[in-house]
Structure 1
Amino acid sequence: MTDIQRPNYFTSQFLVQEDFNDEQAYHRDLRKRHNRSLHEWGVVEGLEVSRKAEKQIAVTRGMAIDNEGRDIIILSDSPLPDTINLDGLELNTTIEITIIYREIPENPYQVEVGGETKFTRTSERPKFVIYGGTTRQDNLQDGNVDIKTGNAPTDGTVVRLAQVRLDNNGNVSTVDNSVRKLAGAKLPSPRQFLVGTAQNGELIPVPAGTVDDWVIFVSPRELEVRKVTGDPFLQDFKMEVSAQPETNGWIIRCYSQKLSTDQVTPGIANYMLLRK
């Protein structure tokens, strides 16, 4: 298919399964395209992890988006458990709690077609995946929890919610929700901005080559600039941002940001991003 197509219905039209599947695919694909193009993947709201008991954690209801643009949603009345048992995991270790998109064929009723069972509904019910286990275990807690070895992927195939530290007895000692990546609106490519320091209302360009090495995006908490290569720049840094309606841009206040190998800003430096 070279163009985006949607079904076109008319009176007396004979419809088959493909027509209904194409109708759903049209809306689903456009929604995923929207999420991928205009939003960063990550946690949208909720999905907070907390200590429930010695060997249990709780996860609140909420929403996330994965790197394919798929919505990962836990509704208030979802059958997905809000408590995860951690009994049996390695002692004195750190595990990562993640969530993934999943589809489950379900009824309200099912039928037999040609000797094959068909379901009338597909539920989009997420699944929890715990990374950091010593052995792989699938479909625990009624099929809603997997345990995997190694570290959680960082490419958005799973959405990390928290790191949990287990003590020498295997009990939950700390829960760190700050490791999660938050979903947010994407800004245009850095090449579509003029970037420089703001001095007396004038734009003083940042040293050559710095802009192309940065990924710039907006998250619900703050505007972040993250370096995707190594020196001579810092890997991450915090900043404050304020909108400038008269210039259709932003003023960014960075804290002690290293601009190049021979130039370091003392204290707070102001940066301005202007749309070209």
Structure 2
Amino acid sequence: MTERLIRTSYVDPTVNPPEPRQGDTGLHESRQDQEGYFGPLHRMHGSALHGWGVAAGLQVSATIGRPGLRVLPGVALDVRGRLLPLAVGGHVKPDEDTLIPVTETGVPLQTAVASGEYHLTIGWAETFDFTGVGSGVFNTETTPTLRLRQVNAPDDGEEVILAWVEIGADGVVVNTSADQRRTTGLSTDRITLLGSFDSFDAEPGTAVTVFDQQAAELRAFNTGGVILEASRVDITARSASSFLIVNPVARRMGVNTTVPGATLDVDGTTVLRGGVGIGTRNPQATLDVLGSTVLQRPPGPDPTVPQSTLDVRGFAQVRGFLGIGSASMPTTSLDVNGGAFIRGRVGVGRGGPRALVHAVDQGGFEAEDGEGKLTTSNIPLLAEARTDGQTAIGALNSNGRPAFALSIDEDGGTNNARGVPAFWDKYDGNWHLAFGIKNGNLAVGHRNPGARLHVVGGPTVNDVAVQVETQQAVGIWTFSEGGGIPLIIGGKPNAAWISGNVDVRGTLTKTDLRFKIDHPLDPAGRYLSHSGVESDEMKNVYDGEVVLDDRGAAEITLPDWFEALNERFRYQLTPIGAPAPNLYVASELSGNAFAVAGGEPGLKVCWQVTGVRHDAYALANPLVVETAKEAAEHGTYLHPEPHGAPAERALRWMPPLARQADQPPGT
């Protein structure tokens, strides 16, 4: 704030040389000196050189849970540079019509306001003393205002905030804070930093105060530089937590930690662009340690609980060998004797791992020695069990219980005996073999496959070996182009149970054809079975009924595809209700129709027509009634037992596979 300065000149510059003016000073001159010079000079001095805030004292005290505040004597400076003294013997104005004297214990202030958050402020005001007017004395006293105002009022320095106060029901003080209280002050040879202190969130019944005291002092050093004296130094960004903390009393400095636990305590990644020497003043590398380095487990209340011995939260590079947990010299880049606890992701062979463990290598087994044992490889992940049949890889469920195991069995210790991988599943308290791989074949439910996929079901009638389910797609597709048999099904007493429609796109060869239904007279208790009609030709049978007209004749019309499908027709006529010795086929099939005649008018006749297929597929695949068995089939039977031959003479019979008894994996 800048003001114009005008004062009375007590030297007459109109004479030469200038002379002091004679006579008494007039009232208007004294008024001009006070209002045009000394007042503005005083205000500009305060506002320009000191700023605004609490200069000294003005401590605010209260008791949590009780009404009322108390402000001790002191002085503040507002934004216009006006001093706001709360002096013993003086007065303050809590409102426009009230004056309260200031004592050595300060000024009490009532808190009979609506509950909420307030700022206790001190502002500039003057009061004229009418008591001296009769004696010709005209005095005006500076009587600052003290009031509780809403916290949303602008903090522009017209009023200086002394404390933040939360008022509850019945005017009791709930909480206090030094929020937005600011101080001002300046010493000629040093800078004194005053801090505002409070007892925020105190318990009910606790006496609390809001006050200022010296927090630090910055002064010039006699040989140059500055000295900062403080019990603690915090360096922070705006609206952020402390970044750098220096504790001269404990001789500790913390970076990104509020409680440094050592001379230098850094929480986070540290980049040292030069060399760091431990035990040497002339480091030859980024980190040069002269002497042994021992990392010990920190003491803890429970020695069984893992404690961090080496905690690297940023990046670390070890150019030689690093041994952890072993008194002997390390034999690899990282030699760990004991457990290792890694909190983040680990990348092996790559940076930026995408999982807790992410291993990358070229892949492939590289070299074996004369005994067939691996010497080098580029396998990202390699597991080995030292004992044959023991678990090489295991998995736990989310509750820490064993659920899955991979073992390598039947390792004969030779080049050709590489072992059989067996995968185990644990349920009902026991390990059960899920599947194994042997000689390129997959065995499900056992470990000795006789085919590329060999599935063995469970021991009970409710165990299903293979279950295939699909909504719209194909469940199983078997196909062979080289003359093989895509599907062989065998079993006793049933080989297959098919529920639904079956579409055969080719020749269906069978030993017997029959149907089996629930018996119409006793569907819940019996079955009814019929055999199908057999023929040495690809024959179709059609029948029906017709009533003769008044001429004793009738024409029977068949579907329009009839003659395209059939040839070599045979006819049979049967009269119903009376003999018809003259009944005959008047005209054979032509145009998909034939005619009968020779009967009595109104006679009912049953007719039957057979035909032999001559469609394109039937002509291309004619039925061969008798064929000789191929050389490999001589001496075999489709059904050997009815012919008195042993079961081993059955065509395409395969001996049962000798299955090895399965054992659970070792622990």
User: Which TM bucket (shorter chain)?
Assistant: 0.5 to 0.7
What is the correspondence of 1:27-106 to structure 2 with a 5 Å cutoff?
Answer: 27-51=38-62, 54-80=66-92, 81=100, 82-87=107-112, 89-91=113-115, 93-106=116-129
Distance 2:43 2:161 in 1: 20
Q: How does 1:245-264 map to 2 (within 5 A)?
A: 245=221, 246-249=223-226, 255=234, 257=236
Distance 1:15 1:256 in 2: 57
Determine if contact 2:5/2:41 at 8 Å carries over to the other structure.
Answer: no
Shift of 1:251: 6.4
Which of 13, 27, 50 is the matching residue for 2:23?
13
Q: Return closer, same or farther for 1:122/1:244 CA change in 2, 3 Å cut-off.
A: closer
Letter in 1 for 2:68: Q
Cα distance in structure 2, aligned partners of 1:154 and 1:242:
28
Q: Any idea what SS the aligned residue of 1:185 has?
A: coil
Displacement of 1:15: 3.9
1:8 alignment partner AA:
Y
The TM-score normalised by the length of structure 2 is 0.26
1:122 aligns with 2:140: yes
C-alpha separation in 2, matches of 1:43 and 1:153: 17
Alpha-carbon separation, structure 1, partners of 2:4 and 2:82: 23
- The 2-side partners of 1:23 and 1:131 are apart by 36
In the alignment, the residues of structure 2 paired with residue 6 and residue 248 of structure 1 have an alpha-carbon distance, to the nearest angstrom, of 45
Structure holding more strand per residue: 1
1:1-276 superposed matches below 5 A:
4-8=6-10, 12-13=22-23, 15-25=25-35, 26-51=37-62, 54-80=66-92, 81=100, 82-87=107-112, 89-91=113-115, 93-110=116-133, 120-132=138-150, 151-177=152-178, 179-185=180-186, 220-221=193-194, 242-245=218-221, 246-249=223-226, 255=234, 257=236, 267=255
| Cα distance change, pair 110–161 in 1 and its aligned pair in 2 (3 A) | same
Paired letter, 1:5: R
Report the Cα offset of residue 98 of structure 1: 0.1
In structure 2, distance between residues paired with 1:258 and 1:159: 25
CA 1:186–1:154 in structure 2 vs 1: closer, same or farther (change >3 Å)? farther
Shift of 1:248: 4.9
Contact preservation (8 Å) 2:57, 2:75? yes
C-alpha change, 1:66 and 1:256, in structure 2 (3 Å) is closer
Unmatched segments (≥5 aa) in structure 1: 113-117, 133-149, 188-217, 223-238, 270-276
Query: Counterpart amino acid of 1:159?
Result: V
Give the secondary structure class of the aligned counterpart of 1:151: coil
Aligned residues of 1:47 and 1:63 also touching (Cα < 8 A)? yes
Deviation per CA, 1:163-219, whole angstroms, max 9, x where unpaired?
1111244311222245411012399xxxxxxxxxxxxxxxxxxxxxxxxxxxxxx56
Counterparts of 1:162 and 1:153 in 2: how far apart (Å)?
Answer: 15
Look up the equivalent residue of 1:247 and give its one-letter code.
Answer: G
- Contact kept in structure 2, 1:255 and 1:267, CA below 8 Å: no
Evaluate the alpha carbon distance shift between residue 241 and residue 164 of structure 1 in structure 2; reply closer, same or farther with a 3 A threshold.
same
> Which protein is bigger by CA-based radius of gyration?
2
**Relative contact order, higher structure (CA 8 A, sep 6+):** 1
Give 1:12 shift: 4.6
The gaps in structure 2 that reach 5 residues or longer are 12-19, 93-99, 101-106, 196-214, 245-253, 257-263, 265-667
The 1:171/1:35 distance shift into structure 2, 3 A limit, reads same
* C-alpha deviation, 1:21, in angstroms: 0.8
Cα deviation code 1:24-81 (max 9, x no counterpart): 2322222212112211211111111111682211111110001111110011112333
Classify 1:156/1:219 alpha carbon distance in 2 versus 1 (closer, same or farther; 3 Å).
farther
* 2:483 equivalent in structure 1: none
Conserved? CA contact 1:44–1:184, under 8 Å: yes
* TM-score, normalised by the number of residues in structure 1: 0.58
8 Å contact kept, 2:68–2:171: no
Q: Secondary structure at the match of 1:29?
A: helix
Taking a change above 3 Å as real, the CA distance of residues 258 and 177 of structure 1, as seen in their structure-2 partners, is closer
**Which stretch shows the higher mean deviation, 153-162 or 118-127?**
118-127
Distance 2:132 2:218 in 1: 54
Distance 1:47 1:251 in 2: 26
**How far did residue 119 of structure 1 move?**
6.8
> For the residues of structure 2 that align with 1:155 and 1:17, how far apart are their CA atoms?
36
Task: Label 1:251 to 1:56 Cα distance change in 2 as closer, same or farther (>3 A).
Answer: closer
Q: Counterparts of 1:166 and 1:257 in 2: how far apart (Å)? A: 32
1:58-113 Cα distance to aligned partner (Å, 9 max, x none): 111110001111110011112333111111x112x11110010111222442269x
Whether contact under 8 Å (2:6, 2:33) holds in the other structure is: no
Quote the residue 1:138 is aligned against: none
* Residue of structure 2 equivalent to 1:195: none
- Name the structure where helix makes up a greater proportion of residues: 1
Please give the secondary structure, in 2, of the residue aligned with 1:173. Answer: strand
Contact 1:49/1:59, CA 8 A, preserved across alignment:
yes
**Partner Cα distance (1:248, 1:240) in 2:** 17
- Seen in structure 2, the aligned counterparts of structure 1 residues 250 and 5 have a Cα distance that, compared at 3 Å, is farther
Instruction: Using the TM superposition, give the Cα deviation of residue 247 of structure 1 relative to its aligned residue in structure 2, in angstroms.
Output: 3.4
- Distance (whole Å) between structure 1 residues aligned to residue 217 and residue 145 of structure 2: 36
Please tell me whether the aligned partners of residues 242 and 251 of structure 1 are also in contact (alpha carbons under 8 angstroms): yes
Distance in 2 separating the partners of 1:186 and 1:47: 20
